[in-house]
Structure 1
Amino acid sequence: MMDSIAWAAKAFVAILGFAGGLSVGSGLIALLIVLDLIPRLAQLACAFRKSIWYETALISGAVFWSLADFMEWRFSLPGRLTLAGIGLFDGIFIGMLAAALTEVMNLLPLLAKRLRLSCFMVSLVMAMMLGKVTGSLFDWLVFQWME
């Protein structure tokens, strides 16, 4: 009886983990497709014929860091110069993502106009911002300490 409960619990955790990974992966792909991040990057670099390299780099990075997380790989970095390089690449990625999101945010006024919510535009943006800040604070201050 106890073995079947332990097996069912492990099966439930496996199914839940698979469903979570599937939803996060689908969300990432949807974000990349909606924002047209890869084609935009290829356009800016004048490298349409080499866009497969961008896609391969994205997939390889996701697979590598997933394996690094699952296998608990640890390595030390040799000083501040390496940290500065990693920070530079992180900044480039965040900047590109922010630029793509800015273009998507141009759709917000159009959506508000069609739904006749133009007079509530400031409230709509404030609600989005406060929701993001509240969610981040909850994650950082409460959720991470629940383990």
Structure 2
Amino acid sequence: MTIKILAVIFVGLASGLAVGAGFVAFLTVLGVIPRLTQLSKTMKMIHYYEWGVVFGALTGVWASLKDPELGISAFVLVPLGLTGGVFVGMLAAGLTEALNVFPILAKRINLDGKIVILIMAMVLGKIFGSIFQWIFFVHH
């Protein structure tokens, strides 16, 4: 092997370790998964959440390296996409809950008693932004 190939392998492994360590630190230090299980009242299933994160990360790495073509119908892909979106949304919600983001933001923009309006604006913005991206960037 040439030096160039070894350098690429080293940089790839080092980058992957750095990102993985940051992800684990994010989940561990902020306590996102325990807080998520506490909010959803599923503390007994915390090991399933942890293994779900591990297998999800490994599957994501595999898929990004292999770029698989699954050949699955839209009837199967839609629920998969929805569950993936729910998972990412729940992790984001756990993070914002752990950092107490919404009450601080509501206080800063003078919406103290109207956090529900703030959250609904963010949810609707995310939904319409995702639909816009899907229609104009994915289907063309």
| TM-score, normalised by the number of residues in structure 1 | 0.58
- SS of equivalent residue, structure 1 residue 93: helix
Contact 2:37 2:45 in 1 (8 A): yes
Where structure 2 has 5 or more consecutive residues not aligned to the other structure, the ranges are 110-140
Considering Cα pairs closer than 8 Å and 6+ residues apart, tell me whether 1 or 2 has the greater RCO: 2
Aligned equivalent of 1:101:
95
Q: Is 1:9 aligned to 2:4, yes or no?
A: yes
Paired residues, what number? Answer: 105
- Cα separation, 1, equivalents of 2:13 and 2:89: 31
Q: CA RMSD in A?
A: 2.7
1:105 Cα deviation (Å)?
5.2
Partner residue in 2 for 1:85 = 79
Give the C-alpha shift of residue 48 in structure 1.
Answer: 2.2
Q: Which has the larger radius of gyration?
A: 1
Give the alignment's TM-score, normalised by structure 2.
0.60
- Taking the TM superposition and a 5 Å limit, the aligned residue runs for 1:50-89 are 50-79=45-74, 81-89=75-83
Q: Cα distance, 1:72 vs. partner? A: 3.9
Indicate the percent of aligned positions where both proteins have the same amino acid: 35
Cα displacement (A) at 1:47 = 2.8
Whether the 8 Å contact between 1:38 and 1:55 is mirrored in structure 2 is yes
